[in-house]
Structure 1
Amino acid sequence: MHVDEWLQAIPPVWICALVALVIGLESLGIPLPGEIVLVSSALLAAKGVVDPLWVGICASAGAIVGDSIGYAIGRKGGQPLFDRLGRRFPKHFGPAHIAKAGHYFHRYGMWTVFFGRFIALLRILAGPLAGALRMPYWRFLVANVLGGVAWAGGTTAVVYYLGRVAEKWLKGFSWVGLGLVVLFGVVTTLLVKRRAARLADRENEESAAAG
């Protein structure tokens, strides 16, 4: 059963609660498909299954609260926490991942927390790593709130309106419209990640040359 089919089988209030829970746990540092759940819920909102406003609110709240808890855990656990996580989840918390995320934090500061919300790796690491690096909480909180609202609210709004437009244009072929929306989202995500990877490689080359 696909994620959207599974979500349709539960009441709207539980859909919103599930969105907040999954995104909150992902933001806390647990590798979960928060983005997939958010997009699927926004598509259901476009089909009238759930209120898009509540999807955006719950997703934003989950992101902000989860990141704040992750910050507290990282501040208390420090580097030993990431060493343990690296041994248990090498694909998400390996030394290379931590070093790359740490590089962004040292170079861009609170902007890493804001824009990290839009990148899968940093979305998981931002909170705990900010705490471990002793970023002042007020700076973290400002970037966390703005990034959480922009990512969760923006994603919900874009997917919702694209879904509504697709349904209006294609009526009897709504599945085609939803397929196009998903395809658009996948292509956009890949392009953004490819661009981010190129920028990261360029920065690494510049750092190596400077060294």
Structure 2
Amino acid sequence: MTDTLLAMVPHYGAWIVLVATFFSCLALPMPSSLIMLAAGAFAAAGELSLMASVGAAWGGAVVGDQTGYAIGAKGGAPLVQRLKRRKKAAETILRAEAMLHRRGVSTVFLTRWLFSPLGPYVNFVGGATDLPWRHFTIGSISGETVWVTLYVGLGFAFAGQIAEVAQIASNVAGFLAAGAMAVWLGWLIFHRRVHPHHGGTRR
């Protein structure tokens, strides 16, 4: 599937980039980051418009986030409970809930690009809980800006080494996510020891 989608990039241009980022924000298996890298590389070669590629990736991602939030708002708590019953999604949903409860808008921002596997589930949970739409949107827009700029920019800058860049980007993203998660868990443990009876509040 990935090879087929990548082959479509030079033919369908910004449209395939938009579709990929949109559906990836709804927890569908789309290689959106790799497609953005490819779009950046084709833009560097003059086969695609750089601005159109960036705009399509960003627009698809933001609209995808809003769609996920709306689905969560409509489905409410029953939707989240149904997702928890799925073995593959249960742990991810629990992590998304915990991070949203502690950090709110900053969780939305970080799960657009750093903790990206959590992103679609943060969309659903954010809509299903009491996370204000305005806060969600601020986190979504700022986070997707980082995600799109990073991957399309890398593809454009290193067009001749796109396979190597894709592997490096994947490894670095995994390393950063693991490190950030370790720091976050360490802070949480420390906070609970210092304030054992302090209830969490959304910021």
Shorter-chain TM-score tier: 0.7 to 0.9
Q: Tell whether the 8 Å contact from 1:71 to 1:127 is kept in structure 2 after alignment.
A: yes
Gaps of 5+ in 2: 198-203
Aligned to 1:173: none
**Is residue 2:111 matched to residue 1:124?**
no
Instruction: Give me the TM-score of the superposition, normalised by structure 2.
Output: 0.82
Q: Tell whether the 8 Å contact from 1:24 to 1:66 is kept in structure 2 after alignment.
A: yes
Match of 1:106 among 86, 101, 108: 101
**Is residue 2:43 matched to residue 1:64?**
no
Instruction: Give me the TM-score of the superposition, normalised by structure 1.
Output: 0.79
Aligned to 2:143: 147
In the alignment, residue 101 of structure 1 is paired with which amino acid?
A
Q: Tell whether the 8 Å contact from 1:57 to 1:153 is kept in structure 2 after alignment.
A: no
Match of 1:191 among 175, 181, 191: 175
Aligned to 1:156: 152
For residues 23-70 of structure 1, the C-alpha deviation after alignment (integer angstroms, 9 at most, x for no partner) is 111213334332222223223323333222211110100111010011
In the alignment, residue 188 of structure 1 is paired with which amino acid?
V
User: How far is the alpha carbon of 1:110 from its aligned partner?
Assistant: 0.7
Aligned to 1:170: none
**Is residue 2:117 matched to residue 1:133?**
no
The alignment partner of 2:78 has SS state of: helix
Q: Tell whether the 8 Å contact from 2:37 to 2:154 is kept in structure 1 after alignment.
A: no
User: How far is the alpha carbon of 1:11 from its aligned partner?
Assistant: 4.7
The alignment partner of 1:186 has SS state of: helix
In the alignment, residue 148 of structure 2 is paired with which amino acid?
A
The alignment partner of 2:85 has SS state of: helix
* RMSD over aligned Cα atoms: 2.4
CA distance in 1, matches of 2:10, 2:171: 31
Number of aligned residue pairs:
194
In the alignment, residue 81 of structure 1 is paired with which amino acid?
L
CA distance in 1, matches of 2:15, 2:6: 11
